[in-house]
Structure 1
Amino acid sequence: MSLSSGARTHVKRNLTDGLAARTPGRSPQVQHCNSRQPSRASAGSRPSKGASLTSRARRKSGGAPRRCRSRAPAGWQRLAIFSCIIPECLQRAMHRLLHYLFHTRNHTFIVLHLVLQGMVYTEYTWEVFGYCQELEFSLYYLLLPYLLLIINVFSFTLTCVTNPGIITKANELLFLHVYEFDEVMFPKNVRCSTCDLRKPARSKHCSVCNWCVHRFDHHCVWVNNCIGAWNIRYFLIYLLTLTASAATVAIVSTAFLVHLVVMSDLYQETYIDDFGHLHTMDTVFLIQYLFLTFPRIVFMLGFVMVLSFLLGGYLCFAVYLAATNQTTNEWHRGDGAWCWHCPLVAQRPSAEPQVHQNIHSHGLRSNLQEIFLPAFPYHERKKQE
Structure 2
Amino acid sequence: MAMGTVGTIVTVILGISFMVFVAFFGRLPTFRHTPIAWLHRLFLVHLPGGVLALDRGLTGGRLSRSLRRFGSFMMNDKHPTVLIFFVLLLGVSEWLAVPTAWRLMGGLQRATLAVLAVLPYVFLWLAAFSDPGTVSLGVLRVQLLAYPYDYALFYPGMRCRTCNLLKPPRSKHCSVCKRCIARLDHHCIFINNCVGAGNQHWFLLLLLNTALLTSFGGLVGAGLIAGRTARQFPSWSVLPWRARHVAGDGRPMDLQDWLLLWSWGMRDLVQLGSVSLLALLLSPLVWGLLAYNVWNVATGQTTNESLKWADWRDDMAAGLVYRRRLSRERGNQGNRDGVPVSLADTASLTRWPLEPEHVIICADDDGKPPSASDPSLPGVGEWEQVWRLRDVENIYDIGVCRNFTDVFVPDYNFNTSGLPSVEARGRSRRRPMGK
Task: Tell me, yes or no, whether TM beats 0.5.
Answer: yes
CA distance in 2 between partners of 1:194 and 1:163 (Å): 19
Q: Contact (CA 8 Å) 1:142, 1:252: kept in 2 or not?
A: no
Residue 269 (str. 1) matches residue 246 (str. 2):
yes
Cα distance change on mapping 1:344 and 1:179 into 2, 3 Å: closer
Q: Contact (CA 8 Å) 1:229, 1:374: kept in 2 or not?
A: yes
Gaps of 5+ in 2: 1-41, 237-244, 248-252, 321-363, 370-384, 415-435
Residue among 78, 93, 104 paired with 2:66: 93
Which has a greater percent of helix? 1
1:154 matched to which residue of 2?
122
Cα distance change on mapping 1:297 and 1:83 into 2, 3 Å: farther
CA distance in 2 between partners of 1:348 and 1:269 (Å): 71
Shift of 1:92: 3.2
Residue among 202, 207, 228 paired with 1:260: 228
Residue 236 (str. 1) matches residue 213 (str. 2):
no
TM-score between both structures, scaled by the size of structure 2: 0.61
CA distance in 2 between partners of 1:109 and 1:176 (Å): 33
Shift of 1:290: 4.2
Residue 315 (str. 1) matches residue 296 (str. 2):
no
Trace 1:12-51 onto structure 2 (pairs within 5 A): none
Shift of 1:216: 0.8
Shift of 1:225: 0.9
2:339 matched to which residue of 1?
none
SS at match of 1:194: coil
- Kindly provide the amino acid, as one letter, of the partner of residue 120 in structure 1: S
Task: Tell me which of the two structures has the higher relative contact order, counting C-alpha pairs closer than 8 angstroms and 6 or more residues apart.
Answer: 2
CA distance in 1 between partners of 2:222 and 2:212 (Å): 15
Find the structure with the greater CA-based Rg.
1
2:171 matched to which residue of 1?
203
Q: Contact (CA 8 Å) 1:269, 1:281: kept in 2 or not?
A: no
SS at match of 2:154: coil
Shift of 1:181: 0.7
1:104 matched to which residue of 2?
77
1:86-107 C-alpha deviation (Å, 9 max, x unpaired):
7544433333333222211111
Residue 349 (str. 1) matches residue 373 (str. 2):
no
1:332 matched to which residue of 2?
307
CA distance in 2 between partners of 1:144 and 1:363 (Å): 33
Shift of 1:296: 2.8
CA distance in 2 between partners of 1:344 and 1:296 (Å): 58
Q: Tell me the percent identity.
A: 23
SS at match of 1:282: helix
SS at match of 2:295: helix
Cα distance change on mapping 1:364 and 1:279 into 2, 3 Å: closer
1:144 matched to which residue of 2?
112
How large is the Cα RMSD of the aligned pairs?
3.1
CA distance in 2 between partners of 1:154 and 1:343 (Å): 47
1:71 matched to which residue of 2?
none
1:303-330 C-alpha deviation (Å, 9 max, x unpaired):
1112111000010111111112211111
TM-score between both structures, scaled by the size of structure 1: 0.68
Shift of 1:338: 1.9
Cα distance change on mapping 1:280 and 1:334 into 2, 3 Å: closer
CA distance in 1 between partners of 2:75 and 2:410 (Å): 28
